Amino acid sequence: MNFHGVINGNKTIISKIKLAKKLEKKIDGHAPGLSGNNLKKYISAGISTDHESMTFKEGEEKIVNGMKILIREGSAARNFNELIPLIKKYPDDIMLCSDDIHPDDLQDGHINRLIKSGIESGYNFFDLLRAATLNPCNHYKLDAGLLRENDPADFVVIDNPENMNVLETYINGTKVYERGEIKIKSIKTKKINVFNCNKIKVNQVKIPGGKVPIRVIEASDGQLYTKELIVKATVKNGYLISDVKKDILKIIVYNRYYKSTPKVSFIKGFGLKKGAIASTIAHDSHNIIAIGVSDKDIVSAINRIIELKGGILLFDGKRFEEIQLNVAGLMTDRDGNQIAIKYRNLNRKAKLMGSKLTAPFMTLSFMALLVIPELKISDKGLFNVRKFCFTDLFYSDMTI
């Protein structure tokens, strides 16, 4: 995932790659926008796939240089339409994936939904099936049946190729799903969760400063990439504040594993007009991440997350709407269909609060992912992904 570390020969990263090779494991890549000699250097280290391509040209360059391309269509990152033309020219080098998808979106389908979309766009049915089944099985050497003689009976039954609705699922000859009913018995296990942080106060998220330029993260709908904006800060009583009219809001990441101080910056693109949203799904460390229109609202959201010991929620200034994630702060043991309903309601209310994003909570979860350009935030502060170093909130060049 750390393509900078691979290219620059980071000893820890290279040792992990060597271990994977020794164990004859495939090494998945994460190389957004990488091209030219750096791409060749990255691939030569043993990286076999990439799921971060955004354009046909980017995907083709990676294939030509020896990579397999996983075409991603998740809830926040949607690259299927741009990349699926690759399957005509490179049917053996394409796989399909989702990479973070909402529970309510899952109700509408998963990989089968991508096959359906491909068919509707006129692509070959068997090329699409190959990308969903044969190619990943061969590439990863999966212990799954391919319907050959003496293979395990691993297969699905669909209604028809046009709709691609899965009616039944079999694993090793055993029916595990039938028309909405899961046949696998639930098993009780110990719930693991780590939450060692204290609640915070409003004065902990205040940033003193004058009307000087600051770095602002700009999020985009449907993409994980961000941009770095340089704007003049909005100041009140000597402190930097959110500017709802300009859609520049505070974003905070707070380490949940040990006592620390919250890191504060600003972000554009979420569009909230009131309240705050927060989550403990924050790739890759999964600390608490929150965005809000006021210090009071954002602190309220963070402290409620701490009370829940993990979850996703919104605070409209008066009430909370929430889903508790009681397993590692990332998952729930409740029924998936119930969670889908609650998640859909959360999304709807976030949009009523002003967000224009298709998937505000999923987009929020990627704002702490320090390996996707351009500007992100972690529990250690703002991070410039292109230079691969931490950077200051305040912009030093005063000439804007």
Q: Give the integer Cα–Cα distance in Å for 17 and 21.
A: 6
What is the structure's pLDDT at 398? 46
List of domains in the chain: 3-142 (3.20.20.140), 147-185 (no CATH), 202-390 (no CATH)
- Return all residues near 147 (Cβ < 8 A) that are at least 6 apart: 153, 155
pLDDT one-digit tens code per residue, 86-142? 999 999 999 999 888 888 888 888 999 999 999 999 999 999 999 999 999 999 999
What is the structure's pLDDT at 364? 95
pLDDT < 70 regions, the chain: 397-400
Q: Give the integer Cα–Cα distance in Å for 125 and 162.
A: 9
What is the structure's pLDDT at 304? 98
Pair 288, 280: CB distance under 8 Å: yes
